[in-house]
Amino acid sequence: MNPMNSTRIKVLSFFGIFFLTSLYYHVWAAAIVFGVLTILGYFTTSKESNKEWEDQEAHGDMDLEEHCYYGDELNFSNETIISILDKRFPFYNSLSPLQKDKFLQRLVAFMITKAFKTHDVKGFKEMPVLISATAIQFSFGLEEFLLPHYEFIHFYPQEFIHTRAPDKYIEGNVSGRSINISWKHFLGEYQYPDDGQSVGLHEMAHAYYYQNFVSKEETDKDFVSGFSRYNNTANKIFELEKKPGNDLFSEYALKNFQEFWAESAELFFETPEAMNGAYPQLYSSLRDLLNQDPLNNIPSMIR
Ligand SMILES: [Zn+2]
């Protein structure tokens, strides 16, 4: 079902009540007028809800309202999506023409199933495209990529307050059915695709883990079976990295195994040489788990 935005609900309720009242009292002329207004209201609010995506680029304009955009109402053309990917998404540019088609199809399929919410910042068309592209990059070698557990993607302009620890500012997290991202960090880190940091890939690692092991809807059987091999190797390296002299992973990654997993995914995509150099078994377990080999620029292998 296509969920409605709040402006549309208000307009339809307003004219709809007059329409139904006119019908009830058999005032046919009024019923026709309010019927037409209800239909017009439906279409004009649909356009209005998406017009802010049209011509803007992300540069941090502040606007203190919250906006909600439904992926299936965005109607971005393929040209628009491709121009954003060309400009900002190196992974897409490294693909063959056939793989680009697959990437685009998956991206659109993913985007139309999500609702995108912006907080204190206007909706830029790059937001739904680039966050969907990040999910597709992460899952490009997998069968299941839609993350049906996650209905909402929230964009905050910068670090935001953690709901469970109110005094703590974070760059991203997953909670309930939402993936939450600081746009400033997301975009900033995409400018440096090989610095080992990507809040987008980090949160996707949490989300795909949760999808497959906790919510267990539409699980990917290869991801689930590959994870046990990763788990065995990663447990040893998790302990090794706590010792002085081993510093591929950040201190934050050593907080718990979930964070270690999420940072493994960042390093796997962003600095595959460093990971393979330090821990070849960890690299190969992730290569088999995600069915991708970024070290050799192979985005999707044949199992
Ligand atoms: Zn994390």
Buried b or exposed e, range 227-241, using 16+ CB within 10 angstroms = beebeebbeebbeeb
For residue 216, report the distance from its CA to the centre of ligand 1, in Å. Answer: 20
Least confident of 36-45, 106-115, 122-131, 202-211: 36-45
Highest mean pLDDT among 117-131, 183-197, 257-271: 257-271
For residue 260, report the distance from its CA to the centre of ligand 1, in Å. Answer: 8
Please report, for the chain, the start and end positions of each structural domain, with discontinuous segments joined by +. 6-50, 54-296
For residue 132, report the distance from its CA to the centre of ligand 1, in Å. Answer: 18
With CA atoms as reference, report the closest residue to 82 among 95, 70, 73.
Answer: 95
For residue 251, report the distance from its CA to the centre of ligand 1, in Å. Answer: 12
Q: Would you place residue 171 in the very low, low, confident or very high pLDDT band (cuts 50, 70, 90)?
A: confident
For residue 5, report the distance from its CA to the centre of ligand 1, in Å. Answer: 31
With CA atoms as reference, report the closest residue to 224 among 160, 142, 281.
Answer: 142
| Distance separating alpha carbons of residues 111 and 89, to the nearest angstrom | 16
For residue 118, report the distance from its CA to the centre of ligand 1, in Å. Answer: 21
Q: What is the mean pLDDT of the chain?
A: 86
Query: For 279-301, what is each residue's pLDDT tens digit?
Result: 999 999 999 999 999 999 888 87
Structure confidence at residue 62 (pLDDT): 41
Give me the percent of the chain exceeding a pLDDT of 90.
59
Q: Would you place residue 57 in the very low, low, confident or very high pLDDT band (cuts 50, 70, 90)?
A: very low
User: pTM for the whole thing?
Assistant: 0.78
CATH architecture of structural domain 54-296: 3-Layer(aba) Sandwich (3.40)
Strand pairing report for 172-175 and 160-161: unpaired
For residue 249, report the distance from its CA to the centre of ligand 1, in Å. Answer: 13
- For 12, residues 6+ apart whose C-beta sits below 8 A from its C-beta are 4, 38, 41, 42, 45
Beta bridge partners of 175: 178
C-alpha Rg value of the chain to the nearest Å: 22
Coil vs helix vs strand at 140: coil
Coil vs helix vs strand at 180: strand
For residue 75, report the distance from its CA to the centre of ligand 1, in Å. Answer: 32
Q: What is the arithmetic mean of pLDDT over 51-58?
A: 38
Least confident of 53-57, 176-180, 214-218: 53-57
Beta bridge partners of 116: 69, 153
For residue 113, report the distance from its CA to the centre of ligand 1, in Å. Answer: 24
Q: Would you place residue 303 in the very low, low, confident or very high pLDDT band (cuts 50, 70, 90)?
A: low
For residue 202, report the distance from its CA to the centre of ligand 1, in Å. Answer: 6
With CA atoms as reference, report the closest residue to 292 among 201, 216, 212.
Answer: 201
Q: Say which residue the tokens 């040489």 belong to.
A: 273
For residue 23, report the distance from its CA to the centre of ligand 1, in Å. Answer: 55
